[in-house]
Structure 1
Amino acid sequence: MSTSETTTDHDTIRKWIEDRGGVPTVVKGTEDDEGEGILRVDFAERDEKLEEISWDEFFDTFEDRGLAFLYQEETADGKESRFFRFVNR
């Protein structure tokens, strides 16, 4: 059985994403008055609808929106998982 964990620790989140080949992004065209867009993570197969942003921008938006990172280390069969969600704290 696989389990999920939730964190707000920036180092844990960044390591989890980078270990899986991901980069921080926002959905193009979703910026608000403060310039922040909808956060996403783009993995190896890059999506043209997403725009890569810096980790600083990513975590500023993450904190401004009061988000937490729900993630899974391994799938039920023991393989590395890329399952995650941004959830409200």
Structure 2
Amino acid sequence: MATTHHEVIKQWAEARNATPATVSGTEHGDHLGVLRFDFGGDSEGLRHVSWEEWFNPFDGRGLNFIYQEQRSDGQQSNFFRLENPGREDA
């Protein structure tokens, strides 16, 4: 069975003890706003959400998860970004 992008994202986040989150105050009605992960550091302004809540807007917005496994020094990297290929603001 092929690994889905949801499984890849969850495995990446769980390996870093990251919790799915949203930035408080960026919601649009009942819809989550800015998607983030809480890595257990400075989580001020973040609200934890379930994976289902996190993946609904991720899929609905057609986002791509761009991530790094390791930094150039070999240490685990927490770098990621969410890319919307449909936006033309570059």
Please state which band the TM-score falls in when normalised by the shorter chain: 0.7 to 0.9
Task: Could you tell me which runs of 5 or more consecutive residues in structure 1 were left unpaired when the two chains were aligned.
Answer: 1-7
Secondary structure of 2:47's counterpart equals strand
TM (normalized to structure 1)?
A: 0.85
**2:33 aligned partner:** 37
Shift of 1:33: 3.1
Given that 2:21 and 2:36 are in contact with CA atoms closer than 8 Å, whether structure 1 keeps it comes out as: yes
- Superimposed CA distance per residue, residues 6-45 of structure 1 (whole angstroms, 9 cap, x where no aligned partner): xx70000011011101000000011113422110111021
Q: Distance in 1 between matches of 2:30 and 2:47?
A: 17
Unaligned runs of 5+ in 2: 86-90
Deviations 1:52-75 (A, max 9, x none): 000000000101111010001111
CA root-mean-square deviation? 1.4
Choose from 44, 51, 55 the match for 1:48. Answer: 44
One-letter identity of the residue aligned with 2:77: S
Paired amino acid for 1:57: E
Detail structure 1 runs of 4+ shifted over 6 Å in the superposition.
none
Moved more, 53-62 or 28-37: 28-37
Question: Structure 2: how far apart are the matches of 1:35 and 1:67?
Answer: 15
* Greater relative contact order (Cα < 8 A, sep 6+): 1
Q: How many residues align?
A: 82
Equivalent residue number for residue 76 of structure 1: 72
